[in-house]
Amino acid sequence: MRRLRAFAGITIAAVAAVTLAARALSNEQGPGSYDMLQPEATFGLQWITKLWNPARKVLYAQVGIGNGNASNTIQGDYNFWFLPQQEDRLNTSPGGNPGPSGYYVKYRPVFEAAPPGKPVSPDLAGRFAADFALGAQLSARSDPAQAAHLLSLARGVYAMAKTSNVGQLVTAFPHDYTANSLLAFALGADSGITGSGLG
């Protein structure tokens, strides 16, 4: 998982959009009508499957740190613009380039949504469950075994949703950082969606 970059809110939304498009076009124009959407949806579903461990009942909400801190003693992914494999070449030794401040870019932390077996934010559980269920619908005709697997993942992660005394919804770490504001920016001001309105 080291090279994966994930903010669940944006990742789940992107996978859902592609999966919905593939399903809608398949229903409207027949299976395989847009050949490139199915592989994209499959890739996204394989990717988010790595963020849910049903055996341990652990949902990983985020891989890496988006922004570093204000004093720049900790840098994040957004401090650098290069291919992920270049992270392996970062010199995080004192005096190196970028030095110790780039440690968490080279060695990305993985944030659990909750401790193993504990309820997770209903926002994350619902988003993951929806994507897995959409993937099951998309795979139902072509690969029933995969559809059953995805539906099992959907049920499992949905069952982990915290349904009482929810408190603050978790979509990114730290909690005051919201990846949803990036999605709103990407959609543009005319979309009518704001970062706070995306939940």
pLDDT grade, residue 24 (50/70/90)?
confident
Higher pLDDT, 16 or 110: 110
Integer CA distances (angstroms), 60 to 48, 114, 174, in order? 9, 8, 14
- 96-106 pLDDT, tens digit each: 999 999 999 99
Q: Picking from 17-21, 107-111, 151-155, 186-190, which range would have the lowest pLDDT averaged per residue? A: 186-190
Max CA pair span of the chain = 59
Question: pTM score, two decimals?
Answer: 0.73
Of residues 170, 162, 186, the one with CA closest to residue 7: 170
Q: State how far the Cα of 99 lies from the Cα of 92, in Å rounded to an integer.
A: 4
Q: Where are the domains of the chain?
A: 6-64+114-191, 70-107
Report whether pLDDT(184) > 90. Answer: no
| Percent share of the chain, pLDDT over 70 | 76
Report whether pLDDT(45) > 80. Answer: yes
Higher pLDDT, 13 or 156: 156
- Provide the β-strand partners of residue 59: 52
